[in-house]
Amino acid sequence: MLLSENHVEIKDMVQKFADAEVAPLAHDIDHNGKIPEDLVRKLGENGFLGSYVPEQYGGAGLDYMSYSIIVDEISRACGSTGVLVSAHTSLCVWPILEYGTEEQKQKYLPKLASGEHIGCFCLSEPNAGSDPGTLATFATDMGDHFELSGTKNFITNGKEADIAVVLAKTSKTNNHKGITAFIVETNVDGFNVQKLEDKLGIKGSSTAQIHFDKVKVPKENMLGEFEKGFKVALSTLDGGRIGIAAQAVGIADAAFKYARMYATQRVQFGKPISALQAIQFKIADMSTKIDASRLLIQRASALKDAGKPYSKEAAQAKLFASEAAMDITTQAIQVLGGNGYTKEYPVERFFRDAKITEIYEGTSEIQRIVIAANEFKSIS
Ligand code: CAA
């Protein structure tokens, strides 16, 4: 699949922004564990936080293909900033756009699209990760509102978020069928960021444990139908997986380009190591896996944009791109040798940032379950 002229233009524009505004900050973002607010503001001003939000709700009115290009290019410059964009857009903006009432869209999307508000998605819990049907967070119907109590784990953007899409049980007996989705404004009483995780990579992106202590949620903030929240969550994750695949290939591309450049400059045995076949084979494999990842991402994005099923294709893109990113960042360190293992060179950061793409929004094992289930469904 080849990108349209329009998508190539978008790619060029985001690339210029990422090179000028994001890449120079990436080392400090990793070192300080924080994405500067000024950068978040610029992401919003450039339309990157509401790329596929229609213009009537203050967005850029682009498609999902453009969104995956944006996440890819921003992540090439900084993996932490890439996931801020991805979690905000795929996991908070999208479910409001897809399942929200007209009032909810008008109320929440313009500020999310402009970056004035940041969004997060609260599904995982200490005892509900790969198996989100077993949530313990409960929303009790109090007549005129719901009262939400429980603990959510590993929430990307949890520290900065103004708006959270939260999944909670509304019935004790029905397993995943008793789950409802809500839009929660995080400035309410009882919304507490309890803990921030210290992580291997994407250190600039906040990963929070959030405690809901009798949080009052207005009835009109229910997202989608009552007790149809599991479908809201899984369909949101389908699109999110394209975003994480794009993050993975962006990080992989950064590692590849650094290793390729280094190989032309590093002289051993009297010549640049790029003249050695052992290095050439690595570069060839890295380049091929990056192209294959992008083709899978583009296919999944095109299906989503066409309104066709894309659950399997999104899982395939995430599975392949994340495992490729891990391999490519490992090989990039190998090309740099001892230098690659030090913090003087960025490839160790790429390696640390890549690992999470095999885990969040569904581990590689979960992606294989989704792919296999779709394959068997197709012949039944
Ligand atoms: N879209 C919509 N509905 C779906 C769906 C999809 N992609 N996949 C399944 N469903 C529906 C089914 O049709 C079924 O509906 P009915 O009850 O009406 O029949 C229902 O969901 C249950 O289906 P399954 O029996 O297949 O569900 P399951 O419990 O076996 O789970 C799973 C399937 C694929 C393992 C799923 O649980 C899953 O994806 N797990 C991983 C969760 C995950 O990715 N967690 C990451 C958390 S988010 C995060 O990372 C935080 C962050 O901030 C980045």
The mean per-residue pLDDT over the stretch 245-263 comes to 98
Q: What does each C-alpha distance from 219 to 94, 98, 225 come to in angstroms? A: 20, 19, 12
Q: Which residue has the CA at smallest separation from atom 14 of ligand 1? A: 231
pLDDT of residue 173: 73
H or E stretch at 234 = helix 229-265
pLDDT of residue 172: 87
Q: Which position has the higher pLDDT, 173 or 245?
A: 245
Ligand 1 centroid distance, CA of 138 (Å)? 19
Is 83 touching ligand 1 by the criterion CB < 6 Å? Answer: no
pLDDT of residue 162: 98
The rounded percent of the chain whose pLDDT value lies above 70 is 99
The rounded percent of the chain whose pLDDT value lies above 90 is 98
Angle CA 41–107–224, to nearest 5: 115
- For residue range 92-117, list pLDDT tens digits in order: 999 999 999 999 999 999 999 999 99
Is 87 touching ligand 1 by the criterion CB < 6 Å? Answer: yes
pLDDT of residue 2: 81
Ligand 1 centroid distance, CA of 187 (Å)? 29
174 pLDDT exceeds 80? no
Q: Which position has the higher pLDDT, 174 or 341?
A: 341
- For residue range 159-172, list pLDDT tens digits in order: 999 999 999 999 98
Q: Is 160 a catalytic residue?
A: no
Ligand 1 centroid distance, CA of 179 (Å)? 12
Contact predicate 242/127, CB 8 Å: no
Q: Which of 73, 125, 323, 361 is catalytic?
A: 361
Give the contacts of 159 (CB within 8 A, at least 6 positions apart).
193, 196, 206, 208
Residue 285 has a CB neighbour count (10 Å cut-off) of 15
Is 159 touching ligand 1 by the criterion CB < 6 Å? Answer: no
pLDDT of residue 49: 98
* Index of the ligand 1 atom closest to the CA of residue 158: 53
* Index of the ligand 1 atom closest to the CA of residue 373: 26
Residue-averaged pLDDT of the chain: 97
Query: Ligand 1: which of 85, 92, 234 to mutate, judged by most atoms within 8 Å of the beta carbon?
Result: 234
Ligand 1 centroid distance, CA of 234 (Å)? 4
- For residue range 307-337, list pLDDT tens digits in order: 999 999 999 999 999 999 999 999 999 999 9
Is 156 touching ligand 1 by the criterion CB < 6 Å? Answer: yes
1 pLDDT exceeds 80? no
Q: What type of residue is 90?
A: S
Burial of 292 (0-12, 13-18, 19+ CB in 10 A): middle
Closest CA to 97 of 65, 50, 132, 156: 50
Query: Ligand 1: which of 231, 375, 376, 377 to mutate, judged by most atoms within 8 Å of the beta carbon?
Result: 231
Q: Which residue has the CA at smallest separation from atom 22 of ligand 1? A: 176
pLDDT of residue 186: 98
Contact predicate 108/100, CB 8 Å: yes
Contact predicate 132/167, CB 8 Å: yes
pTM for this predicted structure: 0.97
Q: Which residue has the CA at smallest separation from atom 17 of ligand 1? A: 177
- For residue range 118-145, list pLDDT tens digits in order: 999 999 999 999 999 999 999 999 999 9
Q: Which residue has the CA at smallest separation from atom 19 of ligand 1? A: 177
Is 313 touching ligand 1 by the criterion CB < 6 Å? Answer: no
